[in-house]
Amino acid sequence: MAKGDRAAFEELYRRTSPWMAVRLRRRCIDEQIVAEVMQETYLAVWRAAGAFAGTAVGGTATGWLWTIAARRLVDAFRRRAHHAEPPQAAAPPDVAPAAEELALADTVGGDVGDALRCLAPELRQVLQAMVLDGLSVRETAVLLGLPEGTVKTRARRARIEMRRALA
């Protein structure tokens, strides 16, 4: 892709776009925003393919792709917030667990997995956005539709509960 190979880009898109759409829809129910973020993400990836350092710095293509998409989603929420009410960021807590949550539960086992499962959903949501998705406090606040202070408080509570559970 870094050399302008369209076939390589098409292969990346074919392999990652279904996964990307599911992750974005989990965080945003507005299909228009999801489509916009997908387009902006893959355009950014095409333009910046040569800048991807890859495994030389311990990164993965999917991690790089998700980082771009998550930041584009936050940007889209910010743009929309100036014109209308921001869309709901996530599905209601009583919805069946997402595939990524089930995968996380399978990946993170033992005491850490048990501690994660015992966290309240609102704490787990903040911890996922900040730790797993690598978002800042501000980006997490925009993504979840919460004040920054609430995000900081929930992140602190989640860390305290994790420490307590793992002690």
Distance from C-alpha of 43 to C-alpha of 104, rounded to nearest angstrom? 29
pLDDT digits (tens, 9 = 90+) for 49-91: 877 766 555 667 788 888 889 889 888 888 876 655 444 554 4
Tokens linked to 161: 């509960």
Which pLDDT score is estimated for 86?
45
Tokens linked to 65: 């792709």
User: Mean pLDDT score of the chain, rounded to an integer?
Assistant: 78
- What fold characterizes domain 97-166? Arc Repressor Mutant, subunit A (1.10.10)
Distance from C-alpha of 103 to C-alpha of 101, rounded to nearest angstrom? 5
Which pLDDT score is estimated for 40?
93
Is there a contact between 72 and 44 (Cβ–Cβ < 8 Å)?
Answer: yes
Contacts of 164 (CB under 8 A, 6+ apart): none
Which pLDDT score is estimated for 82?
61
CATH code for the part of the protein at 1-88: 1.10.1740.10
Distance from C-alpha of 10 to C-alpha of 7, rounded to nearest angstrom? 5
Q: Where do the domains of the chain lie? A: 1-88, 97-166
Residue 70: C-alpha distances to residues 27, 104, 148 (Å): 9, 18, 17
Tokens linked to 155: 């992140």
This prediction has a pTM of: 0.52
Which pLDDT score is estimated for 157?
92
* pLDDT by 10s per residue, the chain, length 167: 778 888 988 998 999 999 999 989 888 888 999 999 999 999 998 888 877 766 555 667 788 888 889 889 888 888 876 655 444 554 445 555 554 455 455 545 566 667 777 888 888 888 878 877 778 888 888 888 889 999 999 999 988 988 888 77
Distance from C-alpha of 98 to C-alpha of 120, rounded to nearest angstrom? 16
Place of tokens 């299909």: 31
